[in-house]
Amino acid sequence: MTDRDIGSDRVQITKDGSHTLYCDMLGETYHSAFGAIQESRHIFIEAGLNKQLAGNMSKINILEVGTGTGLNVLLTLIQLENSDFSVNYDGFEPFPISNKEANVLNYPELLNADVEKFNLIHSAVNKPVILNENFVFKNYCKRIEDAELPDNYYNVIYFDAFSPDAQGELWNTAVFRKLYKSMTSGGVLTTYSCKGMVKRALIEVGFGIEKLPGPPGKREFLRAVKP
């Protein structure tokens, strides 16, 4: 997406006061209208990241499919800011938002976070950036289908693509098999979708899945674990 004037219909305020963006190309918003921050925190941080942090680890490797607004990166950084964990965070986003769009998002204000670090997140396209001494982030401007991922590497995967209706090519066994192979034993994948086709695809490639209570506005979501 190119840098351009941002129309009033592009930036939307969700029910928890945090922003989301509307994707013209796919006809969906990047986050839940019921609350962008509370949805991301509930599904990806509390159910995904925190489950792994409870183990005996000193280093954690994270993969995000659909980096979008950078909200999950920022929430992860905040969660780990004062920890001793060494973090490598790889994102895949074929259509990164513009700097102008990132600058209007109110996440740093609401989360009392460093604006410069949020801007740094959005400068990490195809190059690593150091968000703190223990946290390295890189956002690959390519499709996850085209990516070559290391085997047995990621401890946590945030699967935050647009919906199966909008991006059906991502929610299938070929993609989930690639992700499964890239994860360590005991690795955790979380996603907001609980559709039958998603559950079946995850199970087919070997994941154990569980349905968890969702954030406000969503009845349930999925957590998948590699045995």
Name the band, by pLDDT with cuts 50, 70 and 90, for residue 84. confident
Hunting for tokens 């929610």 — which residue is that? Answer: 171
Predicted confidence (pLDDT) at residue 3 exceeds the cutoff of 70: no
Output 4 or 122, whichever has higher pLDDT.
122
| In the chain, where the domains are located | 44-225
Predicted confidence (pLDDT) at residue 10 exceeds the cutoff of 90: no
Predicted confidence (pLDDT) at residue 1 exceeds the cutoff of 50: no
Exposed/middle/buried for residue 104 (C-beta within 10 Å: 0-12, 13-18, 19+):
exposed
Q: What is the pLDDT of residue 9?
A: 64
110 Ramachandran zone, left/alpha/beta (phi>0; psi -120 to 50) = alpha
pLDDT, one tens digit per residue, over 37-71 is 999 999 999 999 999 988 778 899 999 999 999 99
SS3 105: coil
pTM of structure? 0.94
Checking DSSP bridges between strand 135-140 and strand 86-92, what pairing results, if any?
parallel
Which CATH architecture is the domain 44-225 placed in?
Answer: 3-Layer(aba) Sandwich (3.40)
β-sheet bridge partners, residue 157: 63, 189
